[in-house]
Structure 1
Amino acid sequence: MDETPVTGRVIAERYRLIGLLGEGGTGVAWLAHDELLRREVAVKEFRVPPGLDPTAARLLFRRLEDGARSAGRISHRNVVAVHEVAGHGGRPWIVMEPVRGLALSELLEADGPLPPRQVARIGSEALAGLRAAHAAGVVHGNVTPSKVLVANDGRVLVTGFGTGSGAAAVPPVAQGAAADLRALGAVLFTAVEGRSPRGDAPRAERADGALAEVVEGLLRRDAAGAMPAAEAEHRLRLAGAGGAVPPAPAAGAHGPAPAGSAGARGEKSDRSHVVL
Structure 2
Amino acid sequence: MSGEPGSERVIAGRYRLLSPLGEGGMGTVWLARDEVLYREVAVKEVRAPSGLATSEIERMYARLEREAWAAARVSNRNVVTVYDVATDGGRPWIVMEVVRGLSLADQLDAEGPLSPQRAAHIGAEVLSALRAAHEAGVLHRDVKPANVLLSNDGRVVLTDFGIATVEGSSALTMTGELIGSPEFLAPERALGRTPGPESDLWSLGVMLYAAVEGNSPFRQNTPLSTLRAIVDEELPPPRRAGPLTPVIEGLLRKDPAERLSAEQAEHDLRIIGAGGTLSAETLQAGPYPPTIAAPFPQYPPTPAPTAATRPVPPP
Question: Per-residue deviation at 1:39?
Answer: 1.1
The answer for the alignment partner of 1:9 in structure 2 is 9
- Cα-to-partner distance string for 1:152-174 (whole Å, 9 max, x where unaligned): 1001111111268x755899xx8
Kept in 1: contact 2:213–2:240 (CA 8 A): yes
Distance 1:176 1:233 in 2: 18
Say if 1:127 and 1:143 are closer, same or farther in 2 by CA, change over 3 A: same
1:225 is aligned to 258
For the 8 Å contact 1:224–1:251, the answer to whether it is kept is no
Answer yes or no: is the 8 Å Cα contact 2:26–2:47 preserved in 1. yes
TM-score, length-scaled by structure 1: 0.83
Contact 1:103 1:146 (8 Å CA) reproduced: yes
Corresponding letter in the other structure for 1:230: E
Larger radius of gyration: 2
Quote the offset at 1:74 in angstroms.
Answer: 1.2
- Give yes or no for the alignment of 1:200 onto 2:220: no
Distance in 2 (alpha carbons) for counterparts of 1:48 and 1:75:
30
3-state SS of paired residue (1:245): coil
- 1:258 corresponds in structure 2 to none
Separation in 2, partners of 1:14, 1:224: 48
Per the alignment, residue 119 of structure 1 pairs with: 119
Greater RCO, 1 or 2 (C-alpha within 8 Å, sep 6+)? 1
Check whether the contact 2:140–2:163 (CA below 8 A) recurs between aligned residues.
Answer: no
Match for 2:234: what amino acid? Answer: D
- What pairs up with 1:54-73 in 2 under 5 angstroms? 54-73=54-73
Query: In percent, how many aligned pairs have the same letter?
Result: 51
Give the match's secondary structure for 1:175. Answer: coil
Give the residue type in structure 2 aligned to 1:118: R
- The one-letter code of the counterpart of 1:81 is T
Q: Which aligned pairs between 1:70-81 and structure 2 lie closer than 5 A?
A: 70-81=70-81
- The CA deviation string for residues 157-192 of structure 1, in whole angstroms up to 9 with x for no partner, is 11111268x755899xx8242111101100000111
8 Å contact from structure 1 (residues 15, 34) kept in 2: yes
Structure 2: runs of 5+ lacking an equivalent:
165-171, 180-188, 219-232, 290-315
State the match for 2:109 in structure 1.
109
Question: 1:105 is paired with a residue of what secondary structure?
Answer: helix
Instruction: Render the CA deviation track for 1:226-258: whole Å, top value 9, x for unaligned.
Output: 100110001100110113421234364689xxx
Structure 1: stretches of 5+ with no match in the other structure: 256-276
CA deviation map 1:36-82 (0-9, x unaligned): 12111100111122211223322321232123222211121111112
Normalised to the residue count of structure 2, the TM-score between the two structures is 0.73
Counterparts of 2:259 and 2:272, CA distance in 1: 19
**Is 1:246 the counterpart of 2:266 in the alignment?**
no
> What's the counterpart of residue 88 of structure 1?
88
CA distance in 1, matches of 2:195, 2:213: 27
Which amino acid counterpart does residue 175 of structure 1 have in structure 2?
A: P
For 2:81, give the aligned amino acid.
Answer: A
Structure 2 Cα separation of the partners of residues 161 and 253 of structure 1? 26
